Amino acid sequence: MIDYDLTLDETTGILKVTLSGILDRPEDDLLEQTGALLMQHPSNPVLLDHRNLRLEIDLTELYEMGEALEEHPSTPHVARMAVLVNPDQDTRPYEFFVNVMNNRGVPMRAFQWDQEEQALEWLTSES
């Protein structure tokens, strides 16, 4: 089970999705709530904070999550997505998911747990 918090930084326009707990299956409710917020704030960058999340989902499910995101009405509105990775987590699943999203036209990058400033800079940069 995971806990999540959705916030919008009015100054930067960044939608921050903070997750904690264990993600062991796709979370449709989280996708719907995040998508609804993105539809209200189109073209906003998204910061996924997974520093307190343990990812226990297989690559097939990650791929399917990428497909579900691609089909979600909010996805074309996403400017960029960045994810902050748990320091104890294997980064390979994140690298895989980043590739899935980039291949679907959503610019995404993974950052280490201590690189929040770099992630924010990338999310708000022009290039």
Burial string for 24-42 (b: 16+ CB within 10 Å, else e) reads eeebeeeeeebbebbeeee
Q: How many structural domains comprise the chain?
A: 1
- Kindly report the pTM of this predicted structure: 0.84
Indicate the helix (H) or strand (E) that contains 14: none
- Judging by DSSP bridges, how do beta strands 46-55 and 81-85 pair with one another? parallel
Closest to 100 measured CA to CA, from 57, 126, 58, 70: 70
pLDDT (tens place) for every residue of the chain, 127 residues total: 788 888 889 888 898 989 899 888 776 676 677 777 677 766 789 999 999 998 888 899 888 887 777 776 666 567 789 999 988 888 899 999 999 989 988 899 999 999 999 999 999 987 6
**CATH number of the domain encompassing residue 117:** 3.30.750.24
Domain that holds residue 16: 2-124
**H-helix or E-strand containing 17?**
strand 15-23
